Amino acid sequence: MMKRRNFLTTVAMAGGALAAPGYLRIARAAEPLRVGALYSQTGGLSVVEKMLSSAVQLAASEINAAGGVLGRQIEVIVEDGASDPKTFAEKAQKLVISDKVETVFGCHTSASRKAVLPIFERRNAMLFYQTHYEGFECSRNVVYLGAVPNHQLSNYIPWIIETLGKKKFFIVGSNYVYPREMAKVSKSLIEAGGAEWVADEYLELGHSEWAVMVNKIKDSGADVVLSNVVGDSIISFYREFKNQGLSQDQIPICATVTSEIEIAAMGAEYAAGSYTSFPYFMSIDRPENLSFIERYRAFVNDPKAITYHSLEAAYFQVFLWKQAIEKAGDITADAIREGVRGQTFDAPGGPVKVDEDNLHTWVTPNIGQWQADGQSKIVSAYPEPVKPLPYSGYGETAENLFCTASGLDTTKL
Amino acid sequence: MFDILFIGLSLSSILLLVALGLAVTYGAMGIINMAHGEMVMLGAYVAVLANIWLGANLLLAIPLAFVVTGALGYAMERMVVRRLYGRLLDTLLATWGIAILLQQAIRLEFGLVFFGLHVEGLGAGLQNVPVPGFLQATLTVFGQELNTYRLFIVAVTVVLTVLTWHVLYRTALGMKVRAIIRNPQMAAACGIDVRQTNSITFALGSGLAGVAGVLMAGFRSVSPDMGATMVVDGFMVVVTGGVGSLLGTVAAAGILGEINALTAITFNEITGRAAVLLVVILVILLKPAGLFSFKGR
């Protein structure tokens, strides 16, 4: 019996010894502040998501060089979501439960965000999500740094109707939630602007055969194409468009997803003359942006590296997070959530601000026309940042908010 | 209507382009070659690299890709496939393994990334190949504007199909191959060098896949995982047409392509795809050996 008691004591002591450093840690103020960066480092989405991961690390290294957050250095724990929502959920669990981080920067697709959301809500941790998305979400555990449909469309559609003088829209997208939500918002804006839409068509995600669709566009009598196509399909779409003899001068493609990355991958001559609506373009002519591009290129050690809208948001989100902690004086999720409300930052592309109500971000809508060199020319810039309305497709307006600091008002849906 | 039929023809020719090599390796040799899509992918990368490093345009890349992927197919048959004849499931698994190896080789730039070196044109990112000016834009035929590049693909497919037919049915090699399809043991007993013939047949099938890759590179993006989805379409065509029948493969590609185009234009793309799969299921249910199959003894 002596043995058993000994055993129990040993276990208890060992347990105490293991636990002790944990308690000691809190006492040491200079202990690094750990955050997660959850992006696909492998798989089909890794090309883009690795760039976002680099931007987070660039921001963290710059903050560290300037003295850190509350005197503590940031330590970024990089996890690989492997382009698979299930892996994203597992890795989020690891970061939040085993590593006990309060903040994770990460996710790129809506599918991966939806997969990790329950973990952040149940464990009360914060997710900073930088990609533009379809809206229709109001979590108290996510800070949304990207554009929502009202940023990308409410300025864009009237501009297409009035400035370009287009009256008949052909709406085309990849077959999943983002393009379908974007189409819904577009249709109401098109009708409000006195124009009409002649078709609303979808193609499988990742599909690269555009012959039939482009033929339909040709025969539809549309004078403008509104494209919510994502990923690889974009490249074959623009190529087929030109190869079937359609010209961007007569029927311009006005896109919401096509960025510097896809333009470089398709060959700039195919997109020259088409338009995209984004808050950030690599071509934005501000000293802050030129310096950002230079620092990013040095950081990833590639003198020809491209920057684009989600990359910019991945970068500035870390600064907003830092300001939130400094304002609240604490690193917990509750402190960050309250601290980040109303925070402003002068991002590379222009000033941004986290909304007090819905934790989405005020950004400035810009419309760029793609040029033969693969860069855009800003043809229309909104004078100031616009309030984010994640439920604009369901009738949300600045006077009648659905998503507020207390959560989503489901009675309004 | 004419333009829809032309689009259907163009879809058919793309299906056939991928399936042609498979008709040779799977149809003639009975190997489920999962690495076939990767041969297409490598062909596309040959076009990318030839453009960047040699300044060669798409047309010059075609023979180059045929030689490169053909040689690779030859090596693959010699080293792996040869040891697995008659073990259908094992060839499937082994060639799938090779497929993953090839994908990663491109993604990791043949291991050079570990030494911090970067070869332009390789890596995990998307690549593109410029299409020569005279193949861009359109050509007017019978008052219809047709996509020149697609016309070019149709033409190349016709030439390749005729060449493959010629090799299989009008040469000594083809006669040996057909003898092996019918009965390998008997063919060997008649003095045919089955091993040598199989190596060459496999190289031919792989080379055809390489050419398909070059043509694909002209209208879509090139990436290490582009082959995975194409191999599925390829098998679909070969199985529907009837294993071992070149005519069947051609007919199946033609029918499936036109069905796809006609349904997609009347309804939408998603139904078009569904219609194709439905037809494939019906054909396999009603005629398990495919549309055209020879009678075995």
Tell whether the model's pLDDT for residue A3 goes beyond 80.
Answer: no
Instruction: Spell out which residues of chain B touch residue A207, defining contact as CB-CB under 8 Å.
Output: 269
CB of A372 within 8 Å of any CB in chain B?
Answer: no
SS3 B103: helix
Give pLDDT tens digits for A119-133: 999 999 999 999 999
Nearest CA in chain A to B261: A212
- Please provide the average confidence, as pLDDT, over all residues in chain A: 89
- The backbone region for B86, taken as left when phi is positive above 0, alpha when psi lies in -120 to 50, beta otherwise, is left
**Alpha carbons B108 and B119: distance in angstroms, whole number:** 10
Distance to chain A for B177, nearest Cα, Å: 34
- Residues in chain A with CB shorter than 8 Å from the CB of B273 are 204
Closest of B96, B62, B65 to residue B80, by C-alpha: B96
Indicate the pLDDT class of residue A19, thresholds 50, 70 and 90: very low
Q: Tell me which residues of chain A, numbers 127 to 146, contact chain B at a CB-CB cutoff of 8 Å.
A: none
Query: Do residues A382 and A366 touch, judged by C-beta distance below 8 A?
Result: yes
Q: B25 pLDDT band (50/70/90 cuts)?
A: confident
**pLDDT higher than threshold 80 for residue A53:** yes
Task: Mark yes or no for CB contact B221/A265 under 8 Å.
Answer: yes
3-state SS assignment for residue A72: strand
Model pLDDT, residue B133 = 81
Q: What are phi and psi of B44, to 5 degrees?
A: -65, -40
Residue-by-residue DSSP string for A369-411: EE-TTS-EEEEEE-SS-B---TTGGGT--SSS-SEETTEE-GG
Which is more confident, A164 or B292?
A164
Residues with Cβ within 8 Å of residue A41, at least 6 apart in sequence: A49, A50, A53, A78, A80, A81, A82
Read off the pLDDT band of B142 (50, 70, 90): confident
Chain A residues whose beta carbon lies within 8 Å of the beta carbon of residue B124: 46-47
Looking at per-residue pLDDT, the higher value among B115 and A229 belongs to A229
- Asked if the Cβ–Cβ distance from B11 to A211 is below 8 Å, we say yes
pLDDT exceeds 50 at position A24: no
Q: Which of B223, B204, B231, B217 is nearest to B66 (CA)?
A: B204
Residue boundaries of the structural domains of chain B: 2-103+144-225
Question: Is the predicted pLDDT of residue A153 greater than 90, yes or no?
Answer: yes
Chain B nearest-CA distance from A97, in A, is 32
Chain A interface, best mutation among B2, B113, B120, B219, by max A CB count within 10 A: B219
- Helix ranges restricted to H, chain B: 2-22, 29, 36-49, 58-79, 88-107, 148-170, 172-182, 184-189, 194-217, 227-241, 246-266, 269-286
- Domains in chain A (CATH in brackets) are 33-147+285-364+386-412 (3.40.50.2300), 151-278 (3.40.50.2300)
pLDDT band at residue A255 under the 50/70/90 scheme: very high
Chain B's closest residue to A205, CA to CA, is: B270
Bridge partners (DSSP) of residue A72 are A69
Considering only CB atoms, which chain A residues are within 8 Å of B224? none
In sequence order, what are the residues at sequence separation of 6 or more whose Cβ sits closer than 8 angstroms to the Cβ of residue A289?
A282, A348, A349
pLDDT tens track for A311-367 = 999 999 999 999 999 999 999 999 999 999 999 999 999 999 999 999 999 999 999
Q: Would you say residue A20 has pLDDT above 60?
A: no
How many CA atoms lie less than 13 Å away from B87 in the CB half-sphere?
10
In this structure, of A3-17, A38-52, B239-253, the range with the lowest mean pLDDT score is: A3-17
Taking 90 as the threshold, does the pLDDT of residue B225 lie above it? no
pLDDT confidence bin for B295, thresholds 50/70/90:
low
Q: Which residues of A touch B11 (CB under 8 A)?
A: 209, 211
Give the pLDDT confidence of A175-234 residue by residue, as tens digits: 888 899 999 999 999 999 999 999 999 988 878 889 889 989 998 999 999 999 988 889
Could you tell me the CA-to-CA distances from A168 to A161, A238, A252, A293, B126 in Å, in that order?
9, 19, 12, 38, 33
Dist. CA A316–CA A299, nearest whole Å: 16
Between chains, do B14 and A209 touch, taking CB under 8 Å as contact?
yes
Q: Does residue A267 register a pLDDT over 90? A: no
- What integer is the mean pLDDT of B7-25? 90
With CA atoms as reference, report the closest residue to A37 among A146, A121, A127.
A127
* Section B87-95 average pLDDT: 88
Written as six digits, the tokens of A136 are 């229709």
pLDDT (0 to 100) of residue A64: 96
Return the axis-axis angle of helices B2-22 and B227-241, rounded to nearest 10°. 90
pLDDT at B163 over 60: yes
Q: How confident is the model at residue A5 (pLDDT cuts 50, 70, 90)?
A: low
Looking at the predicted structure, is the pLDDT value of residue B126 above 90?
Answer: no
Are residues B276 and B282 in contact, defined by beta-carbon separation less than 8 angstroms? no
Predicted confidence at residue A87, as pLDDT, reads 94
pLDDT averaged over chain B? Answer: 88
Interface test with A, best of B268, B270, B271, B273 (most A CBs within 10 A): B268
Tell me if B145 and A244 make a contact (CB, 8 A cut-off): yes
pLDDT of A11 over the 70 cut: no
CB-count exposure of residue A205 (10 Å: 0-12, 13-18, 19+): middle
DSSP B111: G
- CA dist., res. A237 & res. A230, Å (int): 10
Please name every residue paired with A368 in a beta bridge, in sequence order, or none if there are none: A276, A378
How far is residue A268's CA from residue B123's CA, in Å, rounded to a whole number? 20
